[in-house]
Structure 1
Amino acid sequence: MAIAGVSGGGKTAVTTSLIQKLSNSKALYFDGPDNIINWVESGSNYNLWDLTPLIRDLQVLRNQQLNYIILDFPFAYKHFKISKFIDFAVFIDTPLDIALARRMVRDFRTASVKNILADMENYISKGRKGYIEMLNTIKPNSDIIIDGIKPVSEIVCHICEQLE
């Protein structure tokens, strides 16, 4: 299963909570690449990412007798080498303003105002394109779409219901 969504959308919180709720399950976490803005500006080809280490880790977990492997992975089915490992993709649909605020709180807790403002300028001029790319390509190709404003516990319950 893949948990997809924009940065700050709640993927990691949901994945971590799912691991606690689903018996005999493990998670793999993929942090988006640093140069995502350049990637979006050059055409957003999902298959350009070298995901060899992630695929190796997935294969190791597949050899274990697990009930669930949960992949915290923003691209869901869009990367052809990973898609064959995914049987269910969840898109956490978090409004961009909330995702941005969550990311700022998470990533800039001790940053200077100068760094925070630089990141905001980067988001306005370039970064937002990456978020829009996700909404236009990952969201419509997911098996279910869940409102990212809901509490994590509600999101997890909804996912578990869908798995039954």
Structure 2
Amino acid sequence: MVGTPDTRLVVLRGNSASGKSSVAAGVRARFGRGLALVGQDVMRRDVLREHDRPDGANIGLIDTVARYALDAGYHVVVEGILYADHYGGMLARLRADHRGPTHGYYLDVPFEVTLARHATKPIASEVSEAELSSWYRPRDLLPGGVETVIGAASTLDDTIGRILRDAGLAGPPGRREP
């Protein structure tokens, strides 16, 4: 078992340029100290410099970091593309082992919106439309209905507010520091 009955685990998934990192950063900014962000891109690309593949080392690293932070009393947001077939088993075990509430979200953004958002990113010149298309998986939901689907019509502020309320993290920022 991991965490406490009071820790919150939020899993935020979706395609590239769906807004996951912005939402996760907004949740953390509005909550304050005591919330750890575990980003797939940070673990996979920055820490390990690994390609996304089934059974990649980053899958275990994401799991380990999330568990460590939960055990240290932090609320945790795990965010990334986190393909269901690559990460689903690890996420299911993490959800099952977490003593507190767990909330899953899938940001469902059409490919046309993904393209437009991607064009505004610093890495836009490094990733082609064809490459972005090869990564895109429509509605790559985890089995069992464990995710709330949030569509492209939801604003960044609305999405952040919804997650904070659903997870019981709304309120004054910086309420506690582990």
Please give the TM-score of this superposition, normalised by the length of structure 2. Answer: 0.66
Which secondary structure does the structure 2 equivalent of 1:106 belong to? coil
Question: Is contact 2:21-2:80 (8 Å) kept?
Answer: no
Moved over 3 A (4+): 32-36, 136-142
Residue 34 of structure 2 is aligned to residue 27 of structure 1: no
Question: Whose helix fraction is larger, Structure 1's or Structure 2's?
Answer: 1
**The residue matched to 1:84 in structure 2 has which SS?**
helix
* Residue in 2 that maps onto 1:44: none
Q: Give the equivalent residue in structure 1 for 2:19.
A: 10
Tell me the distance in 1 between the aligned counterparts of 2:167 and 2:27: 12
Work out the CA distance in 1 between the residues paired with 2:22 and 2:145.
22
Q: Residues 92 and 128 (structure 1 numbering): CA distance in 2 closer, same or farther, change over 3 Å?
A: same
1:71 and 2:78 are equivalent in the alignment? yes
Q: List aligned pairs for 1:1-164, cutoff 5 A.
A: 1-23=10-32, 24-31=34-41, 35=51, 47-50=54-57, 51-66=59-74, 68-75=75-82, 78-86=87-95, 87-108=102-123, 111=125, 119-120=128-129, 122-123=130-131, 127-132=132-137, 134-138=138-142, 141-164=145-168
Alignment-mate amino acid for residue 150 of structure 1: S
Which secondary structure does the structure 1 equivalent of 2:119 belong to? helix
The one-letter code sitting in structure 2 at the alignment partner of 1:17 is G
Query: Are the structure 2 counterparts of residues 145 and 137 from structure 1 closer, same or farther at C-alpha, using a change threshold of 3 Å?
Result: closer
Aligned partners of 1:72, 1:95: CA distance in 2, in Å? 19
Q: Secondary structure at the match of 1:15?
A: helix
One-letter amino acid of the structure 1 residue matched with residue 25 of structure 2: T
In the alignment, residue 94 of structure 1 is paired with which amino acid? V
Q: CA deviation at 1:101?
A: 1.7
TM-score between both structures, scaled by the size of structure 1: 0.70
User: Distance in 2 between the 1:71 and 1:22 partners?
Assistant: 15
CA offset at residue 75 of structure 1? 2.4
Identity of aligned residues (%): 10
Backbone CA RMSD of aligned residues: 2.9
From the superposition, tell whether residues 65 and 107 of structure 1 become closer, same or farther in structure 2 (CA, over 3 Å): same
Equivalences, count: 143
Q: What is the rounded CA distance, in whole Å, between the counterparts of 2:162 and 2:51 in structure 1?
A: 33
Partner of 1:53, secondary structure, is: helix
C-alpha distance after superposition, 1:31-54 (max 9, x if no partner): 277755xx6xxxxxxx53331222
Please tell me whether the aligned partners of residues 89 and 143 of structure 1 are also in contact (alpha carbons under 8 angstroms): yes
